[in-house]
Structure 1
Amino acid sequence: MLKKLLIALLITGSAQLTTQAQTKVNNPILAGFYPDPSIVKVNKDYYLVNSSFAYFPGIPVFHSQDLKNWKQISNVIDRPTQMNFMGDRVTRGLFAPAINYHNGTYYITCTQIDQKGNFLMSSKDPAGPWSDPIWLPQVRGIDPSLFFDGDKAYIIYNGDAPDNKPLYSGHRTIRMHEIDPLTGKLIGDNQVLVNGGVDLSKKPVWIEGPHVMKVGDWYYLYAAEGGTSVNHSEVVFRSKAVNGPYVPYEHNPILTQRDLPADRKDPITSAGHAEFVTGPDGRTYAVFLAVRPYEGNYYNTGRETFLAPVTWKNEWPVVDLGGPEIPYTFELPYKTTTVKGLPPLNGNFSYRTRFENGIDGSCLFLRTYEPGWLTFNKADGLVMKIRPETCMGKGHPSFIGKRQQHMRCEATTTVRFNPAKPNEKAGLLAFQDEHHFYFACRSKDSTGKAVVQLYRSPQKGETMELMTERTLTTPNAELNLRIKADGARYSFEYSEGGQPWKMLDGNVDGKFLSTQVAGGFIGSLFALYGTSSGEASNNKAIFRSFTYSGNDSVYK
């Protein structure tokens, strides 16, 4: 059933190809909540994956042939029988996947935090289907990745401090274990490759996201350090043997933004968690995560995927930003093929989804997918059953999310819904997590009048806070809902039956939806959502379309 719903993911449309000698690349290359990138090159093809936490489907897989044009081709977790995240907060779930390839097989390693821990999956085709997970209970830690060296395979990961006795908060290690990737069987004992970080005496924290690569006679181990916030960085070590000893680069970190002025214009911050890959021109490039705050450390778009070239200095890889700051745009020095007709993923763009052929693979459910509450037809569009579950809980509500991908953007939907009682609501969410969201919806008030309402997630308890309510003058007409985001300011508007837009609330606190306020590791979504608020219901809401438009000033 889920594969039918995601049919649009497989439709390439009438793509047009244009080749040019140099091409401007927009950063981030994957805008919005696409964190913890991992990349692999197989022949002329590139495949990239990201963390998805407690959203379903899990671990999106992207394909490119030039590092510029990307298309999502699958999700690794696309069957509830593989894994679900029921009972998890949305910011938990799947942390930091890594993708590798060896002898005709693609591998994914990842961590299901708070549950079964680390696992291994495989496929002969990155477009899927992917296998069920092989659980790795002996790999104690997070962020596992594989390294193939001849006929041997190793799993490298963030592990406990030596003897499980940390010297300070955030003291971790990078460990390695030989593994049979086909069975998940571990061979021998694990080894500590890095203790603490570059310099243990300086108490480095959260060494994580490790990868090993071999270039010439050197084995390079590189990892994030400093925690995935403003002190984030990427550091590198090298050794003549796969099991070390690994010596740190004397000019670490090789990537960070933490030493730049906090008041600089249009900052990109928190850079780290990188992986290197050889580009089509034979040079080395890095994908990594960073964020785009609109003020201080406030950002709503989550951690995103960026691209930059890598320069080799005295046989050490250093991320080359062309200056101290991560650029919003730069030129790739080789021919690329611009593919028109692909779903946009970077720069300024807009799109409209009518749901005639289902939904695409970028759409997100909460924790799993249970068939029966969602259908499509050409006459109506998306038909959503209103169920008791709410987005405040840890279950599977009637919820379909799309990422907020710009600081300045708007999302619009058209809903046809006739609520039977005040507990039945359907509309559009601006959603960060269970405790940080706004909900613009159609409902009824206590007297039975048709109303449009704006709610804020509860500050205490489980009851949403009603912020604004307007009586609808044409209660049988379709209702258009629009959310506008402008950094820290959000506005919510409505239109009855195609009439002029009216303001529901024009000065809503957007910082409430930021990672700085909410905590965790995710970004904001706009979501189609309906609920009967804990009571049984057979009612349905019809969403005719979803429209998104983003326009940030840095992409002119």
Structure 2
Amino acid sequence: MPNFASAVADGQDEGFAMFDNFVYSGNDDFYNSNPLPGPSSFYNPILPGWNSDPSICRAGDDYFMVTSTFSYFPGVPLFHSKDLLNWKQVGYVLDRPSQLPLDGQKTSEGIFAPAISYNPNNKTFYMITTNIRLGNFFVKTKDPFGEWSDPIRLPDVGGIDPSFFFDDNGKAYIVNNDAPEGPAEYDGHRAIKVREFDVATDKTVGPTKVLVNKGVHPEDKPIWIEGPHMYKINGKYYLMDAEGGTSDMHSEVIFRSDSPFGPFVPAKQNPILTQRHLPADRPNPVTCAGHADLVQTPEGDWYAVFLACRPYDGKSENLGRETFLMPVRWNADGFPYITEGNETVPLVSEVKGATRGNDVTFGNFTYKDDFSSAELDLGWFSLRAPASTFCSLSKNKGYLTMPCIDVKASEMKTPALVTRRISHHKFECSTRLTFSPAQAGDKAGLMLYKDENHQYLLCVVKTNDGRQVEVLKVSDGGAEEVMAFSPINNDNNDISLKVTSDGPTFSFHYSKNGNDWETLKTGVDAYYLTTRNAGGFTGTTIGLYTSSK
């Protein structure tokens, strides 16, 4: 394996791949055939591609939103908006190894369900979450665009999905999902608990109290009450939770009380958001809707962000759980709701009074990177540790340079993989690289990554007889199946690689001159990488990969 630091210093290029561009272009049919009707309209999902477990808060005119990242680094992307319509990623909350220890964790472990809150009593932002191997913690800052604190552990808060609630009387509370009092009566039997939090000492105080046991209808044995958020609205305390598991039976439910310690009474209209009862063959289905958070505009209107999925065949998707935005309505009983009856989650909606800009997060878009910047764009991430541990933007100006290290993406280590979310069913993604492999087994190319055991790789590989371009399928334990290959002998070591998708299938192409494309393999089953098949909580990503194994 090349020594990365010494090779960078002495200018060595053998065993390194130099990627000089990356182009991703989405081309979904719905966006092409349904132009947005007005300046305040937008496409759902507002954060397309895997952006699960959204949480939102407002401070003055500023909205901030975060989503889950599990075992990717950096952790917890931070999005900012002035109007709920135009969003921009402005950084990551967890961007230092001291904040984000992920060694040995599976792709779908790591950071679960971050919740962002603003405490107007001390003008401080808080992000609280679970590192699934290490427990619950929070970080805080006065400046969300700047640096967040190191983790402050919460050893007395168990379970997952903690969330802060800051009352207008200066008191603070943490609500969370946890095991019930006494033995669980069935698989998925959980409870929502609350405990007071002392802002001055950053510690919990007083006893823990169960607010919800099982769910809205305990007699029906509801599963996975989780993702709690508490709000105070017109003098009443509202507790909103996800219920039913984060797959097809997902939903959102709500309760109300006169005290943050309850008792909480469920709304008769529950669930206030779900798509689980709708026909599977409906056009452009949105499924798995739930895990919501509410925010109020300065004008007094309410909106919800929540996760949902867009399957390409009614049940399977590579996009993961995406972030949707919808206006909130209120019923005669004084409860908020997002959908009712047979309403579907709309793929086109609007934010009243906002004006759509030119650079939005949704719809069909093209992303290009020529790696001319000093740092990687915020949309890139790696697994378990910073990308700077294995790649360089300065070694060769205008290139992302990556060594062939002796780690595979099937290992629970940090492979040389720099990757991004897939945001469309139909897309085209390409890169051009210069690659002079040092030894047999060295490889570099484009990887479709779901988890340690589900990957496709289009790459250049050094063999005992020369070099070839291959399509590899990676399965359990890192086993590799060569699905297609073609010898290449171009003298300048330059090659272009391209992956295309029509939703159900992928196709893999290469070019020796950057213009004339040859098809290596078509009709490769996308179902293999879907959550339906592979499980887990993340969507499929696509990115640049090297390895010597």
Residues 387, 398 of structure 1: 8 Å contact kept: yes
2:174 counterpart residue number: 155
Q: In the alignment, which of 26, 50, 53 is matched to residue 43 of structure 2?
A: 26
**3-state SS in 1 of match to 2:356:** strand
1:240 counterpart residue number: 258
TM-score with structure 2 setting the length: 0.90
Distance 1:476 1:106, change over 3 A: same
Q: In the alignment, which of 446, 464, 470 is matched to residue 486 of structure 2?
A: 470
1:541 counterpart residue number: none
* Percentage of matched positions with identical amino acids: 43
2:543 counterpart residue number: 527
Unaligned runs of 5+ in 2: 1-36
Cα distance, 1:507 vs. partner? 1.2
Cα distance, 1:22 vs. partner? 4.7
Cα distance, 1:235 vs. partner? 0.3
Distance in 1, matches of 2:322 and 2:426, equals 16
Cα distance, 1:217 vs. partner? 2.2
2:154 counterpart residue number: 136
- The reply to whether residue 454 of structure 1 matches residue 471 of structure 2 is yes
Cα distance, 1:296 vs. partner? 3.4
2:67 counterpart residue number: 50
Cα distance, 1:397 vs. partner? 1.2
RMSD: 1.6
**3-state SS in 1 of match to 2:357:** strand
Q: What letter matches 2:528 in structure 1?
A: F
TM-score with structure 1 setting the length: 0.89
Count of residue pairs brought into register by the alignment: 507
Listed as ranges, the matches of 1:138-217 within 5 Å are 138-149=156-167, 150-163=169-182, 165-217=183-235
Residues 477, 497 of structure 1: 8 Å contact kept: no
1:13 counterpart residue number: none
- The reply to whether residue 421 of structure 1 matches residue 439 of structure 2 is yes
2:29 counterpart residue number: none
Q: In the alignment, which of 58, 64, 75 is matched to residue 81 of structure 2?
A: 64
Distance 1:372 1:41, change over 3 A: closer
Q: For 1:373-410, what per-residue CA distance to the aligned partner results, in whole angstroms no more than 9, with x for missing partners? A: 32114744111122111101011111100110001111
Q: In the alignment, which of 373, 384, 393 is matched to residue 367 of structure 1?
A: 384
Cα distance, 1:23 vs. partner? 1.1
Cα distance, 1:469 vs. partner? 1.1
**3-state SS in 2 of match to 1:175:** strand
Distance 1:262 1:183, change over 3 A: same
Q: In the alignment, which of 264, 272, 287 is matched to residue 290 of structure 2?
A: 272
Q: For 1:132-180, what per-residue CA distance to the aligned partner results, in whole angstroms no more than 9, with x for missing partners? A: 00111211110000011112110000011122x1111101000000012
1:441 counterpart residue number: 459
Residues 113, 227 of structure 2: 8 Å contact kept: yes
Cα distance, 1:182 vs. partner? 4.9
Q: For 1:436-489, what per-residue CA distance to the aligned partner results, in whole angstroms no more than 9, with x for missing partners? A: 000111112221x22111111034x43311111101142424111111111110
2:33 counterpart residue number: none
Structure 1: which 4+ aligned runs deviate by more than 4 Å?
Answer: 320-323
Distance in 1, matches of 2:140 and 2:356, equals 31
- The reply to whether residue 318 of structure 1 matches residue 337 of structure 2 is yes
- The reply to whether residue 108 of structure 1 matches residue 121 of structure 2 is no
Distance in 1, matches of 2:75 and 2:163, equals 17
Distance in 1, matches of 2:341 and 2:293, equals 18
Unaligned runs of 5+ in 1: 1-19, 534-556
Q: For 1:94-153, what per-residue CA distance to the aligned partner results, in whole angstroms no more than 9, with x for missing partners? A: 00000011121100110011x111001101111231100011121111000001111211
Distance in 1, matches of 2:469 and 2:387, equals 29
Distance in 2, matches of 1:323 and 1:281, equals 29
Q: What letter matches 1:381 in structure 2?
A: Y
Distance 1:322 1:476, change over 3 A: farther
Distance in 1, matches of 2:351 and 2:413, equals 44
**3-state SS in 2 of match to 1:301:** coil
2:310 counterpart residue number: 292
Between the two structures, name the one with larger relative contact order (CA 8 Å, sep ≥ 6): 2
Distance 1:182 1:83, change over 3 A: farther
Distance in 1, matches of 2:341 and 2:88, equals 27
Distance 1:234 1:306, change over 3 A: same
